[in-house]
Chain A
C-alpha cells in the first residue's frame, strides 16, 4: 500500500545537539517530498521540499533534508537544535498525478531539553 511513515512518534533532543527525523515513503515512483512544521496552536509551515536535482535540500531555519532513492527516505536534519524548534514535524508526499494531493505522515513531536 502507498504510505508515508515517520517511525518516531516523539524525539527529545538537548538544546545544541544535532537532530535527525526519519521519513520513509512507499510509492512506485519518486514522489514530490516535503517537510512541514507545526508549532503549538499554529498552522503548518513549509521547511523544505524536493522533487529533482541535488538530493541534499536546504530549507528555512537551518534545516536540511537528504533524499535517498535506494532507501525511499527523506530524512530531516539540523546540526544544532534551538529551544524554539520544539514542534510537530510532518513529512508529506505528492504523487505526480497532475494535481496536488498532499499525503502526510503521522508526524514526529520534537521536544528540546535545556
Chain B
C-alpha cells in the first residue's frame, strides 16, 4: 500500500542511452511532480502535472520529457543521457493547492557512466 512508488530504485547506464523512470501514486491526488536532487543534496523541481496537463516546466533540457498517461502516473523519459544527469530523481504528488502536503516517492538513483 505504498503511497508514491518509483521504479527502478537504481539505474546505471552509459552516456548517450535513453532511459525511463516510472512513478505511480495511489493517493488520488490531482498533481504530480518530478524533482532532481544533485550530489550536494540540492532539490529542484523539474516538472509538475495537474490532471495530466503540464503546469510547471522549469529550465530543464528538452532531453527530459515527462509523460502522464493518467493522473495516477507520471513517467520521466531521458534521451541521450549525459554525465551531469547523474542524480537522485524524486517523484511526488499532492492535491495541488499551495498549502498541500507533497508526498514523495523513495527516489531513483541514476548513475551515468
Bound: A97/B99 CA distance, A: 11
Q: Which of A16-24, A45-53, A67-75 contacts B (4 or more CB under 8 A)?
A: A45-53
A-side interface residues toward B, CB under 8 Å?
32, 36, 38, 41-46, 49, 51, 88, 90, 94-104, 106-107, 109
Bound: A42/B108 CA distance, A: 10
The residue on A at minimum CB distance from B101 is: A46
Partner pick for A90 among B43, B55, B101, B106, CB 8 A cutoff: B43
Bound: A8/B40 CA distance, A: 14
Given A99-B48, A104-B42, A106-B41, decide whether A43 and B96 contact each other with a Cβ distance below 8 A. Answer: no
Listed residue (B31, B41, B90, B92) with the most chain A CB atoms within 10 angstroms of its CB: B41
Given A101-B56, A104-B42, decide whether A42 and B106 contact each other with a Cβ distance below 8 A. Answer: yes
By the criterion CB–CB under 8 Å, are A98 and B42 in contact? no
The residue on A at minimum CB distance from B42 is: A106
B-side interface residues toward A, CB under 8 Å?
4, 31, 33, 40-45, 48, 50, 55-56, 90, 92, 94, 96-107
Partner pick for A51 among B43, B90, B99, B102, CB 8 A cutoff: B99
By the criterion CB–CB under 8 Å, are A100 and B90 in contact? no
Taking CB atoms, residues of chain A closer than 8 Å to B96 are 99-100
6 A-B pairs with C-beta separation under 8 A: A32-B99, A43-B105, A44-B102, A49-B99, A99-B98, A106-B42
Bound: A44/B33 CA distance, A: 13
Q: Whole-angstrom distance from the CB of B53 to the nearest CB of chain A?
A: 11
Partner pick for A99 among B56, B92, B101, CB 8 A cutoff: B56
Partner pick for B42 among A43, A97, A107, CB 8 A cutoff: A107
By the criterion CB–CB under 8 Å, are A88 and B41 in contact? yes
Listed residue (A49, A100, A109) with the most chain B CB atoms within 10 angstroms of its CB: A100
